[in-house]
Every structure is written in structure tokens, then in C-alpha cells.
Amino acid sequence: MAAPTSSAADGQSVDLADVQGNILRGYRKSMVRHLITQVIDARQARAWIGATVGPDRSVAPAITDAAHWGEQPPDVCFNLGITFTGMQALGVPDSAARSFPEAYREGMAARASKIGDWGDSAPEHWKPWFQASDAVHLIVTLHADTAALLDQFEKQMMSGLAGQAFRICGRNEGAAFEDNKVHFGYRDSISQPRFTDVSPPGELDGQPFAPLGTVLLGHPTALEQLKWTLPDPPVLGLNGAFNAFRVLEQDVFAFEKFLDRAAEQLLDSPLADDLLPTGNAQGDGSRPQRLAAMREVVAAKLLGRWRNGTPMALSPRDQFPSPRVSDTDFDYLDDNAGLNCPLGAHTRRTNPRSAKIVQRVANHTRRLVRRGMPYGPRLDTPHHDADDGIERGLLGNFICADLSAQFEAIYYDWINLGLQDPRITGSNDPLLGANQEDASWFDVVTREGSVRLRGVPRFVRTRGGAYTFLPSISALRWIGSNEKR
């Protein structure tokens, strides 16, 4: 039977059975486990990798590919990413390994300054297994709905050939919240790039379909149909993608305290009645009630969405509009002043859609596929006066075809410099940015004027990460060959 294919937005077709499954779709499982591994026997490791894409399930589990599951999804989804030093440790020929782009070869820790990982986010503060760029070889990722399934899968996998080939250096585990929110209280993973005939039919998002070259090597991109250069040999890169894996600690207590302070400032400002008009449920009430409502306004302004996911671009004053508005079908083109969604809001910074920005060619060319899941216990009542000292945050995967031109450009140009619009240049992303309280700011603008919120703390700190390559099934088969190369 022929492998399933899909017609791509670029007019080409892609063999879905040749693409790792976590690139083009989310699995919607409740739990994830990332196994941080090192190669201890290159020959055995290559044999195991080859077996993951071969027919013999007694040697290794099968890599989950992007082919349609039908009615019965797998209990556990299994994928792997390989770092540059992992390629070397596996015995990939040096000429082939060095044909990959510079960002991938150098690794995330070595390029920390390009993505705002300085100060207490610098690599020396990361989990021990991430601190050196050459410490991680493979990241094996397992998705399932229960911890028991993850435990069983890992035990069975490591009891065989994998246990002879690899050493597990660390584990990063996450579990989704039932309401699909993250620790800051926002609903997450609402908008992703859609690929023609690959993405399932769904709600429009007001953006053009993304060509497969947005994430897959060997396919035309939105940059005048240009393709990113394939590694040599081409089989090693075709239908593969790069992934920036990030362990992002979220300071929920600092975030909630900032909402308190900012809400007080705005409620005492001339903009108060414009942000909370009297005559509606949010605007009326006692001062404590109005403060509580203003806190949610601030949270929405910082992100660009209300915490329930409603976009400010369509509903700037009400998180429960009637009739309900689309979560995804909107644009910023007619909101040049940022009256509905602030120019510096996180979602607008990282995906300006069709808004007027300085680098016009970058409007739709820096899009990423984002996969993430919270880690650490949820705070049922996060508005506490004292930090409980427990680490919590997000395990993020940022998947693209070029780490430098997409992932790093978003972080460096847009998140930490604000180069897309001179009105926010010099400020950082209020949620993900490398903010310093003595210099950071965020502007809230209405038709009545503007208020600058100063002293925005750093809410997110990096606790680890690695640049990996997610090879195609064909590439894994090539890497897994035990033939002398």
C-alpha cells in the first residue's frame, strides 16, 4: 500500500509517513516526558534508531509519524530529536554533520545572548544536564494520558537495546491542566500555522496558509518560494525540522503582584473609565470589585488576549462578548495605534499578522509551530502574598525550518528589542522578555491617552534547553544504518 501523501500549500506533496508526527500536529495527550540522553555506544545507538523506523517491535518502539491514525490513536506517542553533538556521537560523518546551519551546530547554550538567556536565565543557572552545549545528544519525547503508560513505555524501551546505547541524564515532565491553561492563568495553544491539506479543517484564523517550508526542510517557504539549504546528503534533511526545546520557569507570584500594582495605577489614572466603562458588569461596583476587574484588563493587555483566550483585537473591553467572537480569525491591520491590542502585547509582538511593521517581509515568515505543556503543581489560588518556593513553568517546543531566521529572530528582534515598531523599541515582551525592573516598561493606550507601566519584572526564566533536529523517517533510517560510512 502506498504511503499517504498530502498536497502542500506550495503545490508539492509531502509523504506524511516520512515526517515525525509532533511537527505538523499536536497529540492532545495529557502528559509529556522528555528524556535527556547521551550516547554511550554509537553502534548500538545507531542500531536502535534504525529499529525505531523498522518492522521489528521487539527491538525498539515505532516512531510516531504524521500519517493519519484513523479511529484508534496510539496509547503513547514517541519521537526524538538529535543535537549536533548527538549527530557526532552517533557517528554521522563529520562532513554531513557540519553541513547543518551554524545555529544548530553551536547549540542553544552557546547562543544564549541571542535569545535573552542572560542574568539568572544564563546557562550556568540551567538544569545540570543542559548547561553545556555538548551535554545533550538526544531528547526522546513521550506523550501519553497517564504516568503509568509513560513509566511502562520507558521501562520497556530502556530494558532492551536502548539501555545499552544511551544513558538518561535527566527528565523533564509536564502535565496539561484540564482547562488547557498555563500557570499564569491564560488559555494556551490557540493559534498555530495551518498547512494546506495537512491541517484538519477548522476555524479560520485570518492568516494565509503557511507553506510547508515554514517548518519542513526541502519545501518552498513564504520568502518568495525560496527553500532553506538541505544538509548533505539531502536525505538527512528532507522533511525534517529544527526544534528549540525550552524549560521556562514562570514566576506566578511576581506576575500576580504586578497585576495588583498595575491595576491600582490604572484605576487611579484618567484612563480608568475608558478601560472600565461604567454601566457594564466590569465597570460598576466597589473599588475592590473594580480592582479585580482591572487586574484582568492588565493581564489581557500584557498578552493580547483575555485569560479565557478571547482576543483583544476583537473584544478589547469584554472577555465574554455577546455574540461570541472568533478566537483566531482576526488581524491587527486596522489597529495601528494599538487601541484594541497593545503594540507591545506578547501575541502581537511574536506574530504581528498583517500589521504594519518595520520589517514588512517578516510579517508571515517567522511563524513557528509551538508545542507546550505546564510543569510543576498548579496554584489553585495563585494570588498569594508569599512565594511557596516550588518551581513551575512550561516545557516548550518551538519548531521551525531555520533556528536563526525564525526562532532567534523572534526572540532577539521582537521579544527583547521591539524592532518591529519604533513605538515599542527599547521595551521587552512583558511576559517572555528579559525585563529588568529598573528599566522595563509597557504602554497602555486608549483614545483618552496613554499610561506607561514601569518596573515590569522578569516573569519567565530559562532553566534549560537545547537545539535539536527532528529527522524524517528516511533520515532516521539513514542514521540508523550500521554500515561503515
Would you kindly state where each structural domain of the chain is located, as residue ranges? 5-249+465-479
CA distance 402 to 409: 10
pLDDT tens string 140-193: 999 999 999 999 999 999 999 999 999 999 999 999 998 899 999 999 988 888
CA-based torsion, 61, 66, 72, 77: positive or negative: positive
Cell matching residue 430? 512583558
Cβ–Cβ under 8 Å, residues 44 and 110 = no
H-run or E-run covering 36? strand 31-39
Residues lower than pLDDT 50 in the chain: 1-11
CA distance 416 to 427: 7
Distances (CA, A) of 116 to 107, 278, 408: 15, 41, 10
How distant is the alpha carbon of residue 212 from its chain centre? 18
- Residue 10's pLDDT is 42
Work out the burial of residue 140: count CB atoms within 10 Å of its CB; fewer than 13 is exposed, 13-18 middle, 19 or more buried.
buried
- Residue 365's pLDDT is 72
Q: Is the peptide bond before 323 cis (omega within 30 degrees of 0)?
A: yes
- Residue 192's pLDDT is 87
DSSP 8-state class, residue 311 = B
Q: What are residue 140's DSSP bridge partners?
A: 35, 80
- Residue 363's pLDDT is 63
Cβ–Cβ under 8 Å, residues 205 and 426 = no
Distances (CA, A) of 227 to 10, 160, 194, 213, 392: 11, 40, 19, 7, 39
Residue 83's nearest CA partner among 67, 111, 63, 106 is 106
